[in-house]
Amino acid sequence: MRAAPESPTRVPGRRFEGYGVLVTGAGRGIGEATARRLAAEGARVLVTDVDAGRAERAAGAIPGAVGFGCDVADRAAVEAAVAYAVESFGSLDVLVNNACACSPDAPLFEDEPDATWARDLDITLTGAFRCARAALPHLVASGRGAIVTIGSVNGAQDFGNHAYSAAKAGLASLTRTLSGHAAPRGVRVNLVEPGTVHTEAWTGREPALARAADHYPLGRVGRPEDIAAAVAFLASADAAWITGVTLPVDGGLLTSNVGLRRAFDAAE
């Protein structure tokens, strides 16, 4: 399949001038790209990561960013990160829940250990809950608060990884319920649902990425910047009348079964 042309990422002005933003899991990949995009549009960004050194290195390369170690599995660490953002920036206007854990499946479902299941859900789903709980009063106080969570197509269809997929599906549900609770308080809550994205997690598995690209209607896998652009839209005033939605950013993966269509084409 011919790949869709790669258009340059454009930054449409400075929609986040004066905003304070916290991004979890932002030491690399989608989180780092999101921090970079929001900072490029004027935000002060707290780059958090379970690896404090990685957070600081990422922040050091982003103007207007500050690094801070935060384990979203630890309530005290989450509350400390939120407090630091408010103290440093004067307000917290946007929370981006990106931190997650994805453990490989056991060969047989009945051999899945409790610890693996619990870890993926605790970091991916409960971690987002902890961050939203700590941030919400400050997002309400800002008068323009927004939460954007990073889900996955794994939460909508079967692509493997039982615990990770269940956690991502839970994030979509949490987005819907929290949006209804937060809307009367002036806070919007939305979710971005990426397909396969070429991040450091795929290092050494580039052939698998190349094969995956053939299953995407737009002919390629995603880039972190693709997801960051969607996050920036949903966090901005451009999406002022949007809340509770799940936005697939997946190259068309969920809309078309490319392999099946090819099978039918080959039979004709």
pLDDT of residue 7 exceeding 60, the answer is: no
Q: What is the mean pLDDT of the chain?
A: 94
- Rounded to whole angstroms, the Cα distance separating 65 from 35 reads 8
Domain 20-267 has CATH 3.40.50.720: yes
Segment 247-261 mean pLDDT: 91
- Cα dist. 246→148, 149, 175, 225, 234 in Å? 10, 9, 8, 18, 10
Name 222's bridge partners.
Answer: 197
What is the predicted pLDDT for the residue at 258? 85
Q: What percent of the chain has pLDDT over 70?
A: 95
- Could you tell me which residues are beta bridge partners of residue 193? 248
Domain coordinates of the chain in residue numbers? 20-267
| Region of poorest pLDDT, from 1-5, 200-204, 216-220, 222-226 | 1-5
Q: Give the pLDDT confidence score for residue 257 in this predicted structure.
A: 86
pLDDT band of 6, cuts 50, 70, 90 = low
Q: What is the average pLDDT across 218-234? A: 97
What's the whole-model pTM score? 0.93
User: How many other C-beta atoms are found inside a 10 Å radius of the C-beta of residue 1?
Assistant: 13
Cα–Cα distance between 141 and 255 in angstroms, integer? Answer: 39
Helix (H) or strand (E) holding 146: strand 146-150
pLDDT band at 268 (very low <50, low <70, confident <90, very high): low
The active-site residue, picked from 19, 84, 164, 216, is 164
Q: Please list, residue by residue across 108-140, b when 16 or more beta carbons sit within 10 angstroms of its beta carbon and e when fewer do.
A: eeeeeeeebbebbbbbbbbbbbbbbebbbebbe
The yes-or-no answer on residue 164 being catalytic is: yes
Predicted confidence band of residue 2 (pLDDT cuts 50, 70, 90): very low
pLDDT at 82 over 90: yes
Q: How confident is the model at residue 263 (pLDDT cuts 50, 70, 90)?
A: confident
* Range in 16-30, 124-138, 141-155, 193-207 the model is least confident about: 193-207
Please give the helix or strand (H or E) that residue 192 lies within, else none: strand 188-194
Please give the pLDDT value at position 10: 58
